[in-house]
């Protein structure tokens, strides 16, 4: 299939009911999986939920499993640039050819479910891409799939299977119009991934979330491994290109683990990933060699990723207050930009006021821009007006396009001295757009 045909196929897929609109039911994904012979039940799954840290934790789990000699599939949500990023096998997005083959195999069954209009809705884009991932993983076949929840957990399309390990990253308030306005309500939705027979591996949580998660584990009889009593980060220190960690594992403390990512939150995610893999292996401790090899190989695009120097430009996906706090603390610790110039674009349904307040603690100036090609994008003038209530006069700039915003921020940094740097954040999609503009050393897309 040509690239033009592939692009048309992707456009067809993404024109379906979008991820921002949730149809809370497993009926459609279950129906299409039944028609396909339930491929999702042919492979063991580690499912990863939570408000922040799902993507990076899933990447680290994948790296550790691969270092253990297993063939791994990983389902990611959302993607930064290319929809094929969502279906990863052997550490690489599936090829254009294989993506199109899976869709060709899957589409007739999608059409059959669409005809049924279950709950009055056609299959959504997220349901389709989730089903395609399970088909691709079963066909490969992989030894284990690491599956990142799209939204919530209880009704998320990924939850059509029964996970062997249920990982819950830190829970905060996001998507409140869908998941609820309190930590307990959000946790109730995310606790849905903890199933009978699974092992629940829980990051440190707000007490309200912890209570809900533990109650769910008791209800279904799931074994619990919790950060603190069962595993955790014992210490860390800065290192060139990342940090050195000391991790408490099933086999005891493991020192001098290099993680090529920045921030305490990433270090804690690494400890969580080790615990998840050890749980998957039946409690068997990972050797220090596997931990060191796996975590040392991690690549997490747009997670505090330094993509340019002179001036330094860092990308991050932070889009809610909890993530903004972790990001701004990590950038301050790891890069110490003086001054820090921000480039911020956000979705209209996010808590932008709180995010901007946190960014303003360290961003000396900010360029407000707009996410391209998204009906949910916050208008530049609206977001800039909000920013002008937070930053001093003259410190808020506007650019309608990401490319112009980056150029303006880089110019401001150039005129501010050798220690100045740029942080681009506020949205996963914005980080992906910026990355496409700034990173030129990517391998060419497979157009076979």
Q: What is the pLDDT of residues 305-334, one digit of tens each?
A: 999 999 999 999 999 998 999 999 999 999
Per-residue confidence (pLDDT) for residue 448, from 0 to 100? 33
Please, which pLDDT band fits residue 153 given cuts at 50, 70 and 90? confident
Tell me if 231 sits within 8 A of 267, measured CB to CB: no
Whose CA is closest to 21, among 376, 322, 260, 430?
Answer: 376
Write down the pLDDT at residue 19.
54
- Can you identify the CATH homologous superfamily of domain 3-296? Mur-like, catalytic domain (3.40.1190.10)
What per-residue confidence (pLDDT) applies to 24? Answer: 72
Strands 223-226 and 242-249: unpaired
SS3 of the chain: helix, strand, coil, percent, to 5: 45, 20, 35
Dist CA 247 CA 257 (whole Å): 8
Least confident residue range of 30-34, 316-320, 337-341, 371-375: 371-375
The pLDDT of residue 445 is 41
Q: Confidence class of residue 177 from pLDDT cuts 50, 70 and 90?
A: low
Task: List, for residues 369-390, the tens digit of each pLDDT value.
Answer: 999 878 889 999 999 999 999 9
Q: Average pLDDT, whole number, for the chain?
A: 92
pLDDT score, position 174: 60
DSSP for 286-328 reads PPHHHHHHHHHT---TTEEEEEETTTEEEEE---SHHHHHHHH
What is the fold, at CATH topology level, of the domain defined by 303-438? 3.90.190
3-state secondary structure of 217: helix
pLDDT at residue 14 is higher than 80: no
The mean pLDDT value for 4-10 works out to 74
Instruction: Give the tokens for residue 183.
Output: 């930590």
pLDDT of residue 119: 82
Q: What are 241-283's pLDDT values in tens digits? A: 999 999 999 999 999 999 999 999 999 999 999 999 999 999 9
DSSP string, 103-148: HHHHHHHHHHHHHHTGGG-PPPHHHHHHHHHHHHHHHTT-SEEEEE
The tens digit of pLDDT for each residue in 69-126 reads 999 999 998 888 899 999 999 999 999 999 999 999 999 999 999 999 888 888 999 9
CB within 8 Å of 194: residues ≥ 6 apart: 166, 168, 200, 213, 216, 217, 220, 222
**CA dihedral over 68, 73, 76, 82, signed as positive or negative:** positive
The answer to whether residue 298 scores a pLDDT higher than 90 is yes
CA dihedral 426, 428, 430, 434 (to 10 degrees): 110
pLDDT in tens, 184-230: 988 998 999 999 999 999 999 989 999 999 999 999 999 999 999 99
Q: Is 80 exceeded by the pLDDT of residue 434?
A: yes
- Among the residue ranges 20-24, 72-76, 161-165, 396-400, the one predicted with the least confidence is 20-24
Considering the entire predicted model, what is its pTM?
A: 0.93
What average pLDDT score do residues 44-73 get? 96
- Annotated domain spans of the chain: 3-296, 303-438
What pLDDT score was predicted for residue 444? 41
- pLDDT of the residue at 5: 74
pLDDT for res 175 = 57
The contacts of residue 360 (CB under 8 Å, 6+ apart) are: 366, 387, 390, 391
């Amino acid at each position: 299939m040509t690239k033009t045909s592939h692009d048309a196929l992707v456009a067809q897929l993404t024109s379906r009911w979008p991820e921002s609109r949730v149809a809370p039911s497993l009926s459609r994904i279950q129906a299409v999986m039944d028609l396909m012979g339930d491929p999702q039940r042919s492979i063991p799954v580690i499912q990863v939920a939570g408000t922040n840290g799902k993507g990076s934790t899933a990447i680290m789990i994948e790296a550790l499993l691969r270092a253990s000699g297993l063939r791994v599939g990983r389902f990611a949500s959302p993607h930064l640039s290319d929809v094929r990023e969502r279906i990863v096998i052997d550490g690489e997005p599936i090829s254009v050819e294989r993506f199109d083959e899976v869709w060709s195999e899957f589409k007739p069954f999608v059409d059959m479910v669409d005809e049924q209009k279950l709950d009055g809705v056609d299959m959504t884009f997220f349901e389709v891409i989730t089903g395609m991932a399970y088909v691709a993983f079963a066909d490969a076949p992989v030894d284990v799939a690491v599956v990142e929840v799209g939204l919530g957990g209880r009704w998320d399309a990924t939850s059509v299977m029964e996970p062997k390990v249920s990982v819950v990253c830190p829970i905060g308030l996001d998507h409140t119009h869908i998941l609820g306005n309190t930590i307990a309500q959000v946790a109730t939705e995310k606790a849905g991934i903890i199933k009978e027979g699974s092992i629940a591996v829980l990051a440190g949580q707000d007490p309200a979330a912890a209570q809900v998660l533990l109650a769910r584990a008791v209800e279904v009889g799931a074994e619990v491994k919790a950060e603190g009593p069962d595993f955790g980060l014992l210490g860390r220190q800065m290192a060139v290109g990342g940090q050195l960690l000391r991790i408490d594992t099933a086999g005891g403390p493991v020192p001098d683990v290099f993680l090529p990512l920045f921030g305490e939150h990433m270090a804690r995610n690494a400890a969580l990933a080790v615990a998840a893999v050890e749980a998957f292996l039946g409690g068997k401790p990972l050797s220090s060699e596997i931990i060191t090899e796996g975590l040392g190989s991690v690549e997490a695009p747009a997670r505090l990723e330094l993509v340019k120097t002179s001036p330094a430009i860092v990308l991050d996906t932070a889009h809610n207050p909890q993530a903004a706090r972790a990001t701004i603390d990590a950038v301050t610790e790891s890069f110490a930009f003086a001054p820090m110039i921000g480039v911020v674009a956000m979705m209209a349904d996010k808590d932008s006021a709180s995010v901007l307040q946190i960014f303003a603690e360290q961003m000396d100036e900010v360029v407000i821009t707009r996410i391209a090609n998204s009906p949910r994008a916050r208008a530049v003038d609206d977001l800039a007006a909000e920013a002008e209530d937070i930053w001093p006069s003259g410190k808020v700039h506007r650019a309608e396009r990401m490319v112009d915003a980056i150029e303006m921020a880089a110019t401001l940094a150039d005129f501010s001295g050798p220690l100045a740097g740029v942080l681009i954040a506020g949205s996963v999609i914005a980080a992906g757009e910026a990355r496409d503009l700034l990173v030129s050393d990517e391998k060419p897309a497979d157009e076979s």
